[in-house]
C-alpha cells in the first residue's frame, strides 16, 4: 500500500491534498501561480489534445520551466523546428538498438554503485541514485572518457543533479533566471569541468555520443550550429535531465519496495526469472522495451516500476501557453493563455484507476497505457515528450535489479517519507539502511 504523500510545504494551492480536493471534477479551472492566471486542466482527453492533436498551437509556458537555467538552444529550444532537429540528433543514442548496446555498461555502473555499501550503515538513497544515474548518463551518452575525468565529472554531475531536484518550481527562487546558492556553485563547477570537452573539435582527441553529434552539427551555411557555450549548456541539460528523473523515480521505487514485503518478494522472483532468461544481459524482453508496446502483459518488476511512475511521476506538473486562440472543451482560450496540467492528478484519477493511491502492480495485467488520452504520461506525450523514454525504462529496470538482488533496504522505525514537489517529485528525505540478501 502506498499512502498518499504528506504535503511537504509550499504555497497552499499546490499542496497535493488541496489540489485533489479543489481541482477534481473540474475539467478546466482558473488558478493563479505567482500572481499569473492560468487554466488548470484535469481531463486526460483535453490534456492529450494539448500535447498531441493541437500541440502546434501551444508553446512552452512561462511557469515551471524546470531547466530554464541550463539551456535554451537544443532540445529545449522554443522553436519547434529546432527542437525536432535536436531530437533527431539525439535519437541514435537513445533508440532501442542503442539501449541494448548500453545495457552491459548500465549494469556495471549500477553494480559499482552498490558494491561499497556497508551492512547496517544508513544511506542517503537519493544521493546514491544520483551517483548511479550520473555515471550511466555520462558513460552511455558521452562515450568513453578517461577514468579520472569520468569519475570527477560523475561526482560533480551527481551534486548538481541533487541541487536541481530540490530547486523550487514556483515562488521567487523559481522566477530567478540565474541559479543561486549551492545550485549556482554546483552548476558553475560542473560546467567548468565540461567546457573543455564541449569546446573540443580536435580530430586527435575525438568525442563520442551525443556530445560528438553536437560538435559536428552544422547549420545551412555549413558553419557550426552551436557555439562552444551553447554546446556546453546543451550537454549539461541532457546529462542533468537524464539524472534527476531517474534518481527521483528510483528513490521512490526503493522506498515502496521496503514498505511492502509481498511486492518485494514478487519483484525478486521476477528479477530472478528474467536473469535466468538471458544470463548475459539480465533481460527477458527486448532491452528498452516500452511497457504496453509488446506482446502480453509486462513482467512483475516492470509492472512495479509502472506503478511507481504512476504514483510519483517525476515531472509532476507542466505548463503550456497558447500561441493562437484555441478551443479546449467548451472553452475558447485567447492567445498567450497559460494552460497547466498535473500528471500526479491524472495518474490518481479514480475513474481510471480504482483505489488510486494504492500500489498495485497487477492493475497493469489488464490495464494498458491509453493512446486515446493522457491518463498515464510519466514521460509526457506528443512532439515534446521525453526523447529518452526507451533508455529510461531499461535504466530503471537495471538499477532496480542491481539493488534488489544484493540488498534489503529498510527505513528507521516510525519514519515517514514526505513528497517534495520541486523540480521533480521526490522524497524530501530518504535515509535507508542496507542489509545483504
Each residue's pLDDT tens digit, 307-363: 999 999 999 999 999 999 999 999 999 999 999 999 999 999 999 999 999 999 999
User: How many angstroms separate the CA atoms of 268 and 273, rounded?
Assistant: 9
Q: How confident is the model at residue 1 (pLDDT cuts 50, 70, 90)?
A: very low
Angle at 142 between CA 167 and CA 60, to 5 degrees: 40
Is residue 72's pLDDT more than 70? no
Weakest mean pLDDT among 2-16, 229-243, 323-337, 340-354: 2-16
Look-up of cell digits 562515450:
143
Can you name the CATH fold of 6-436? Answer: Cytochrome p450 (1.10.630)
Give percent of the chain with pLDDT exceeding 90.
53
The more confidently predicted of residues 306 and 85 is 306
Q: Give the span between the Cα atoms of 50 and 410, in whole angstroms.
A: 41
* Mean pLDDT, rounded, for 244-266: 97
223 vs 201: CA distance, rounded Å:
13
Within 8 A by CB and 6+ apart from 216, the residues are none
In the predicted structure, residue 137 carries a pLDDT above the cut 80: yes
Question: Who contacts 395 (Cβ-Cβ below 8 Å, separation ≥6)?
Answer: 106, 133, 136, 246
Cα gap 290→298, rounded to integer Å: 9
Domain locations in the chain as residue ranges: 6-436
Indicate whether 77 pLDDT > 90. Answer: no
Which of these, 292, 318, 304, 320, lies nearest to 389 by C-alpha position?
Answer: 292
Residue with more model confidence, 431 or 170: 431
Residue 140 and residue 167 in contact, taking contact as beta carbons nearer than 8 Å? no
Amino acid at each position: 500500500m502506498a499512502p498518499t504523500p504528506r504535503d511537504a510545504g509550499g504555497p497552499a494551492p499546490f499542496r497535493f491534498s488541496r489540489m485533489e480536493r479543489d481541482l477534481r471534477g473540474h475539467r478546466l479551472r482558473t488558478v493563479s501561480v505567482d500572481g499569473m492566471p492560468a487554466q488548470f486542466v484535469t481531463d486526460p482527453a483535453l490534456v492529450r489534445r494539448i500535447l498531441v492533436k493541437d500541440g502546434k498551437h501551444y508553446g512552452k509556458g512561462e511557469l515551471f520551466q524546470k531547466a530554464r537555467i541550463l539551456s535554451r538552444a537544443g532540445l529545449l529550444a522554443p522553436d519547434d523546428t529546432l527542437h525536432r532537429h535536436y531530437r533527431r540528433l539525439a535519437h541514435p543514442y537513445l533508440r532501442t538498438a542503442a539501449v541494448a548496446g548500453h545495457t552491459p555498461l548500465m549494469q556495471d555502473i549500477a553494480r559499482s554503485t552498490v558494491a561499497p555499501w556497508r551492512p547496517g550503515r544508513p544511506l542517503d538513497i537519493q544521493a546514491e541514485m544520483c551517483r548511479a544515474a550520473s555515471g550511466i548518463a555520462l558513460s552511455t551518452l558521452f562515450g568513453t572518457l578517461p577514468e579520472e575525468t569520468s569519475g570527477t565529472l560523475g561526482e560533480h554531475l551527481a551534486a548538481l543533479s541533487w541541487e536541481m531536484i530540490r530547486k523550487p518550481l514556483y515562488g521567487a527562487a523559481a522566477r530567478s533566471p540565474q541559479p543561486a546558492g549551492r545550485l549556482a556553485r554546483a552548476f558553475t563547477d560542473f560546467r567548468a569541468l565540461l567546457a573543455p570537452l564541449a569546446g573540443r573539435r580536435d580530430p586527435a582527441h575525438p568525442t563520442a555520443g551525443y556530445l560528438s553529434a553536437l560538435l559536428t552539427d552544422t547549420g545551412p551555411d555549413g558553419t557550426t550550429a552551436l557555439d562552444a557555450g551553447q554546446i556546453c549548456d546543451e550537454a549539461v541539460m541532457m546529462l542533468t535531465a537524464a539524472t534527476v528523473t531517474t534518481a527521483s523515480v528510483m528513490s521512490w521505487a526503493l522506498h515502496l519496495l521496503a514498505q511492502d514485503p509481498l511486492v518485494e518478494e514478487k519483484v525478486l522472483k521476477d528479477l530472478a526469472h528474467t536473469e535466468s532468461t538471458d544470463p548475459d544481459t539480465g533481460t527477458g524482453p527486448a532491452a528498452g522495451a516500452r511497457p504496453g508496446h509488446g506482446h502480453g502483459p509486462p513482467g512483475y518488476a516492470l509492472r512495479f516500476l509502472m506503478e511507481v511512475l504512476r504514483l510519483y511521476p517525476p515531472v509532476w506538473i507542466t505548463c503550456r501557453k497558447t500561441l493562437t486562440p484555441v478551443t479546449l472543451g467548451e472553452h475558447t482560450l485567447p492567445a498567450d493563455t497559460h494552460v497547466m496540467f498535473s500528471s500526479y492528478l491524472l495518474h490518481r484519477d479514480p475513474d481510471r484507476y480504482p483505489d488510486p493511491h494504492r500500489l498495485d502492480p497487477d492493475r497493469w495485467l489488464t490495464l494498458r497505457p491509453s493512446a486515446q488520452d493522457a491518463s498515464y504520461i510519466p514521460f509526457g506525450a506528443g512532439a515534446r515528450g521525453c526523447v529518452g523514454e526507451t533508455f529510461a525504462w531499461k535504466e530503471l529496470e537495471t538499477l532496480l535489479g542491481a539493488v534488489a538482488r544484493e540488498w534489503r533496504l529498510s527505513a528507521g522505525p516510525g519514519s515517514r517519507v514526505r513528497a517534495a514537489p520541486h523540480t521533480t517529485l521526490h522524497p524530501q528525505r530518504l535515509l535507508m539502511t542496507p542489509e545483504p540478501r
